[in-house]
Structure 1
Amino acid sequence: MRSGAKVAVIGGVFVLMAGGIGYGAYSMLGDTVGGDGGTRSASESSKVKTGPPSAEEIAETSKGFLDAWAAGDAAAASLLTNNESGSAPVLASYGEDARIGKVKITPGPAVGTKVPYTVRATVSYDGKSKPLAYASELTVVRGLTTGKALVDWAPTIVHPQLTEGATLRTGEASTPTIEAVDHNGKVLTKEKYPSLGPILDTLREKYGESAGGSPGIETWIEPADETQPDVNLLTLAKGKPGTVRTTIDAGAQEAAERAVKKYAEASVVAVKPSTGAIRAVANNPATGFNAAMQGKQAPGSTLKIMTAAMLLEKGLVTANGAAECPKEARYYTRTIHNLKHFSLPDGSTFTQSFARSCNTAFVKLIDDVDDDSALAKEAREVFGIGLDWKTGVVTTDGSVPEEVQGEAAAQYIGQGTVQMNALNMASITATARTGTFRQPVIVPQSLDNRQLATATRSLSPSVTQQLTTMMRATAAWGTGAKAMASVGGDKGAKTGSAEVDGQDTSNSWFTGFSNDLAAAAVVQTGGHGGDAAGPVVAEVLR
């Protein structure tokens, strides 16, 4: 859906025609132009206002801007912003490229310096017309050099989903629409499953032409990054959709969408351990960024699944063997303690340390590993982390960099430089469940014969059995017991909390399995893993 821009700047004057309507042309010649928009003469330079704009200035500036925009006068509207050169082409493309006319903008009462408004307009192309309606807001600020009240420019002013460098367009779609279905053939739509929006856009971009459909006429947002999919806003005339079968399970997806809405910022992913099929992906808010599959954060103690696997493989511990759990443990310059500085009695087992999420039991063993980078190798060779996953959509595939000394110790408990998202942790749990990494996929490999990532080796049956036994203990009587109480089947879990950038309340992480389904979730500033992320995972597993 790519096309050239149709806005010309000649001698400082904007010149354009859209829909047969001449837009105003405003000359900048002979004026002193401020870097924040607007003009002022030399005599005015000593009378620059300071301080926040007044209510009267906010009302006058917002009205002038909205009126000019609604009238199709991009040049006049841009003069009322603090970024004339950046705003003018975007405002101009509203009528030219997006074919949006008959614009009526209704402002609401100002809230401080913010002015909310609703937009009602008509999109017309090739004899087809359809109404377009949405809400957005602007902020009025004082120009740094002019002192004038100006609209603080952002692309979201024109449309809430418009990003920097993106363009609104209307025309015949270059890629046919698709009808995405779950693994049982049930239709998946953005309206019913809003978290799937960016995924469905990507699937259309990648597989639309090969799915057997024909293009329609649409209004869409074309991102600045050509590797990102276009975002459809309005369909004026439907094409013939092609069918794309996904691995999603509509029931699990519905549960995931419901679960994440209980928190302001949450993500969850469910994966089938025996195949790697992704059964659910959900985010709140359900924006264009798919945090569940593209996010990057420290996962806290959920990563102890991987650390435990490494320690078991090296024969340094056994599930039922003793593992010391003191209040604190030090490795080089890094001192690590347990939550509220708890400790476990002498003779406690490694399973007890795992189920109670004892940090020190893991850190105390790093000296015995005799290779600070061993966890990074375990991540790649066994769990497939850091490999180039080909799920069918864009993903961030986790990272455990090779570190030494104190930073390596932090990695053992999922802190430091470790970076994961809900998809990565669901996959790690799925690998622990079966002992073998199976790269997650959201469309079958047979759709395009793409090369899937493979790990170097699997866990031994003994290590796999011990690892799942410890996860079962966590779900039965450990830190995950409360969250997993309502989950049936053969179940296991691991909790985690991670402090990022010195935040007051840690992020809540939780991962678990029930029979042949694994799921992981993160809730931003949710606190302990079992308190917020745990119920999200449990709802999906149920």
Structure 2
Amino acid sequence: MTARAGRDTGGRPPRRRRTPADRGPGAARTPVRRPARPAGGADRPGPGDRAARDDARPDTRAGDAGRGETARRPAPAARPAEPPRTARAFSGGRSARRGGGRPPRGPRRPAFRRSDPLKRLNAGLLVIAFVLSLFAGRLVQLQTIEADVYTARAVKQRLHELELPAVRGDITDADGHPLAKTVEARAVYADPALIEPAQRQRVVAALAPLLSMDPAKVLAKISTSGSRFVYLARGVSPDQGRMVEALDLPGVDTLPEYRRIYPNDDLAASVIGFVNREGRGGAGLESAYDRQLAGVDGWQRVETSVSGQVIPMGEDSKREPVPGRGLRLTLLRDVQAKAQQAIEEQVRATGARSGSVIVMDPRTGQILALATAPGYDPNDYGRADDWSNPIVQEAYEPGSTNKVITAAAVLEKGGVTPGTVFRVPYSVRRHDRTFHDSHRHPTQRLTFSGVLATSSNVGTILASETISAQTLYDYLRAFGFGEPTRVGLPGETAGVLTPPSRWSGTDRYPISFGQTVSVNALQMASVYATIANGGVRVSPQLIAGTVEPGGRFTAAPAPAQRRVISQATAEQIIRMLEGATTVEGTAPKARIPGYRVAGKTGTAEIVNPACGCYEGGGYTASFAGFAPADDPRLVVQVVLQKPTRGSHYGGDVAAPVFRDVMAFALKTRKIPPTGGRPPKIDIYARD
């Protein structure tokens, strides 16, 4: 092979590795001896060792003598086994960079080896530190950031608020006899958390029959989850409470409270009302004056342990209850009882839907009795179908009892006198309607006193034509129609009285004798009290005053008064009304031996809602009057709705009740007869 004479363009001459031939004949057969390895670490070959090994390998490349000749190296002497070459050994030698191929790379050394305990320890400490930091953060959150929240929750679990009910004020009659009173009672309660599931059936079996409760309801209450206090029964008698305590059941105990009772059972129930299971007034005066009667409940907060025991040094705050104020009514218990008995008997005898009796003192407006039938027992109000008071809540057409207002208007504004004569046929036609009397009769010549005494509809129409529709309306309003009495009972209706501008062409005629207009019973009784009081209307009064918890009585404000008609007109009407109780009048059954009685019957048709007409609607029978007629001290009104057995006329079914109640009330109030003789009343015109 010819050696190159110069350098390649842009490079140096190629280097040629020396071969044994270049060294001479003896050099090729001389084995290359490796230097001895240093002690303690000679197992790793260095760069020099690697170069030596390369020189010991046979060279297959041609030398300068010519191609194809192979120079063989003698076999190297035996040497100790070398450890496997590492990546570092290969990367450090020249032959790896210059040789024909890169030697194979050894296994990669792992970053973490089990044989390294220090790294393993550091990793474990890091995990522990992370977990501890979480606990520390949560601890900081609980003790600083949310400390108030958890403190409040802890206190709430221990703190219990007990209700201290106020004593409800009593309701009494005018003489102080209790009609509704509050007595001591017990409330039975349970702490469901203290009753183990295995003990629940034993608790139910012991309490349900004792408290007259449904076992399923008792079980549901004592199984309430998440609750530490549930009422099982309220208002039980003290004896029942002591029996519950004697059972010594787990988680069951009693609390002192009060219970409302009505010692006279159903007496004046529609007036008094009742207190419901929540301790609030449910009807009548109990509802209308609930806030005053109830007072203000108090409370007591105590801390208890898990077992339910009061913590002696725990929180104990208390607000004393404020007792309610009582009501003293104007009712008289004995008169109320008689009125209620009389109307109940008549409702049963006549098959009436309902009935009512009102007794009033016309001089003061005080109501001495408000009786209704059928009634109910407020001690067991759940069995009643109706808790309403029809005396103020039911509007009805008053019928002929309304004729006294027409009489007052025509006497004062129409130029009519009690002796004015009217030619009265059985019926008259006005516009497109025909009006008639309740009984057929030939044409009669009646005085105006006779018109009122015989309750002639036609005669009243003829007399009403002497005044305008506006005048009639004004007198109706003056007597209290179209506005509630505001006596204090809930749900009072004002009745129906439309102004003349809305009357049809014929409305004024039925209004004059008590139809096409409606009132409640107390409004109508007030009309007769006004006449009996000489024409001065005194607003009806039911509440005499209030009684403080200490017993001090505060009288109610005096009722409003206003003059409606003159004294002379009132006296004329009173004389005319005495004629109704004579044999020739419509109510001889209202007469009371020894007393002069004045009054008026009423028999009004009831509108049938099915057709909006009077056909098939039934009747309202009534009677209103006063005695003694020459010195009126008491007014009594009786109303029966839809009597179905026997007569339906007011003189037959309502007048007898008036007589019985009025006679009893006169004796009870010690009102003697005046001894005066009734005047002679001309009913028919003298020829």
- The normalised TM-score by structure 2 is 0.47
Regions of 4+ moved over 6 Å: 18-22, 122-128, 170-173, 176-179, 211-216
Corresponding residue for residue 329 of structure 2: 246
Partner of 2:482: 386
> 1:529 — aligned with what?
650
> Aligned to 1:540, which of 649, 661, 678?
661
Cα 1:125–1:266, aligned 2, differ >3 Å: closer, same or farther? closer
For residue 275 of structure 1, give the secondary structure of its aligned residue in structure 2.
coil
Instruction: Choose the corresponding residue for 2:362, options 229, 249, 273.
Output: 273
Whole-Å Cα distance in 2 between the matches of residues 497 and 533 of structure 1? Answer: 10
Q: Quick one: distance in 1 between partners of 2:415 and 2:261?
A: 52
Change (3 A) 1:361 1:211: same
In 2 relative to 1, CA 251–342 (structure 1 residues): closer, same or farther, beyond 3 Å?
Answer: farther
Q: Does 1:71 align with 2:170?
A: no
Q: Encode CA deviations 1:150-199: one digit per residue, 9 max, x unaligned.
A: xxxxxxxxxxxxxxxxxxxx9978xx9699xxxxxxxx844444444428
Pairs within 5 Å for 1:72-471: 72=217, 189-198=264-273, 202-207=284-289, 210=292, 242-262=325-345, 263=347, 264=352, 265-286=354-375, 287-343=386-442, 345-346=444-445, 348-369=446-467, 371-381=468-478, 383-394=479-490, 395-402=492-499, 403-416=503-516, 418-434=517-533, 435-444=535-544, 452=559, 454-455=561-562, 457-471=563-577
One-letter code aligned to 1:385 = F
- Report the Cα distance in structure 1 between the residues aligned to 2:408 and 2:604, rounded to whole angstroms: 20
User: What does the per-residue CA deviation read over 1:298-353, in whole Å, with 9 as the maximum and x for residues that have no partner?
Assistant: 0111111111111111134211221232111222222110013324522x211111
C-alpha contact 1:198 1:290 (8 A) present in aligned 2: no
Distance 1:243 1:505, change over 3 A: same
- Distance (whole Å) between structure 2 residues aligned to residue 74 and residue 343 of structure 1: 78
Distance 1:276 1:478, change over 3 A: farther
Distance in 2, Cα, partners of 1:21 & 1:514: 66
Q: 1:363 to 1:343 in 2, by over 3 A?
A: farther
Give the whole-Å Cα distance in 2 for the aligned partners of 1:366 and 1:523. 27
- Provide the C-alpha distance between the structure 2 equivalents of 1:316 and 1:197, rounded to a whole number of angstroms: 46
Once residues 423 and 487 of structure 1 are traced to their aligned partners in structure 2, the CA distance between those partners, rounded to angstroms, is: 27
Distance 1:343 1:525, change over 3 A: farther
Question: Relative to structure 1, is the Cα distance of residues 325 and 316 closer, same or farther in structure 2, using a 3 angstrom cutoff?
Answer: farther
Q: Is the 8 A contact 2:271 2:489 kept in 1?
A: no
Amino acid at match of 1:426: A
Query: What is the CA–CA distance in structure 2 between the aligned matches of 1:243 and 1:210, rounded to whole Å?
Result: 8
Change (3 A) 1:327 1:443: same
Structure 1 residues 275 and 351: alpha-carbon distance in aligned structure 2, compared to 1, 3 A threshold: same
Give the secondary-structure state (helix, strand or coil) at the position aligned to 1:71.
helix
Task: Give the aligned residue type for 2:341.
Answer: R
Residue 70 of structure 1 deviates from its aligned partner by 6.8
Equivalent residues of 1:329, 1:364 under 8 A apart: no
Kindly indicate whether the alpha-carbon contact (under 8 Å) linking 1:390 and 1:452 is maintained by their aligned counterparts in 2: no
Which has the larger share of strand?
1
Unaligned runs of 5+ in 1: 2-17, 23-68, 76-91, 102-121, 132-169, 180-187, 217-238
Letter in 1 for 2:426: K
Question: What do residues 113-172 of structure 1 show as CA deviations (whole Å, max 9, x unaligned)?
Answer: xxxxxxxxx9779997599xxxxxxxxxxxxxxxxxxxxxxxxxxxxxxxxxxxxxx997
1:1-29 deviations in whole A, cap 9, x for unaligned?
A: 9xxxxxxxxxxxxxxxx96789xxxxxxx
Deviation at 1:477, TM superposition (A): 3.0
**One-letter identity of the residue aligned with 1:467:** I
CA separation in 1, counterparts of 2:216 and 2:623?
52
**What SS does structure 2 have at the residue aligned with 1:396?**
coil
8 Å Cα contact 1:387/1:453 also seen in 2: no
Query: Which structure is higher in helix share?
Result: 2
Q: Which amino acid aligns with 2:455?
A: S
Structure 2 CA distance for aligned equivalents of residues 130 and 540 of structure 1? 46
Distance of 2:436 and 2:459 partners within structure 1: 10
Larger radius of gyration: 2
Write the distance in 1 (CA, Å) between the matches of 2:627 and 2:343: 19
1:350 maps to amino acid = F
Task: Give the 3-state SS of the residue equivalent to 2:538 in structure 1.
Answer: coil
Query: Alignment partner of 2:340: what SS?
Result: helix
Partner of 1:512: 625
Cα offset, 1:528, TM superposition:
0.3
> For the residues of structure 2 that align with 1:534 and 1:353, how far apart are their CA atoms?
19
TM-score (norm 1): 0.59
Report how far residue 529 of structure 1 moved. Answer: 0.5
Q: Identify the residue that residue 35 of structure 2 maps to in structure 1.
A: none
CA–CA distance in 2 between the matches of 1:453 and 1:284?
A: 30
Cα distance 1:450–1:405, how it changes in 2: closer, same or farther (>3 A)? farther
Gaps of 5+ in 2: 1-162, 164-188, 194-213, 244-254, 275-280, 299-321, 376-385, 547-553, 609-614, 664-687
Supply the distance in 2 between the matched residues of 1:99 and 1:318 (Cα, whole angstroms).
71
Residue 598 (structure 2) pairs with residue 492 (structure 1): yes
Tell me the SS of whatever aligns to 2:493.
Answer: coil
> Any idea what the Cα deviations from partners look like across 1:353-401, whole Å, max 9, x if unmatched?
11111000111234332x22332210222x1223343313233344432
In the alignment, the residues of structure 2 paired with residue 344 and residue 210 of structure 1 have an alpha-carbon distance, to the nearest angstrom, of 61
Q: Does the 8 Å contact 2:410/2:464 carry over to 1?
A: no
Whole-angstrom CA distance in 2 between matches of 1:284 and 1:21 = 46
The residue aligned with 1:80 is none
Would the aligned equivalents of 2:588 and 2:651 in 1 still touch at CA under 8 Å?
yes
Aligned equivalents of 1:397, 1:478: Cα separation in 2: 35
Contact 1:211 1:242 in 2 (8 A): yes
Render the CA deviation track for 1:198-218: whole Å, top value 9, x for unaligned. Answer: 2895434455665697879xx
The RMSD of aligned alpha carbons is 4.2
Q: For residues 467 and 125 of structure 1, what CA distance do their matches in structure 2 show?
A: 57
Secondary structure at the residue paired with 2:598?
Answer: strand
Cα separation, partners in 2 of 1:74 and 1:533, compared to 1, 3 Å: farther
Tell me if the contact between 1:125 and 1:171 (Cα under 8 Å) persists in the aligned partners: no
3-state SS in 2 of match to 1:444: strand
- Aligned counterpart, 1:116: none
* Contact 1:177–1:213, Cα closer than 8 Å, also in 2: no
How many Å apart are 1:433 and its aligned residue?
A: 1.3
Task: Count the aligned residue pairs.
Answer: 369
Amino acid at match of 2:339: A
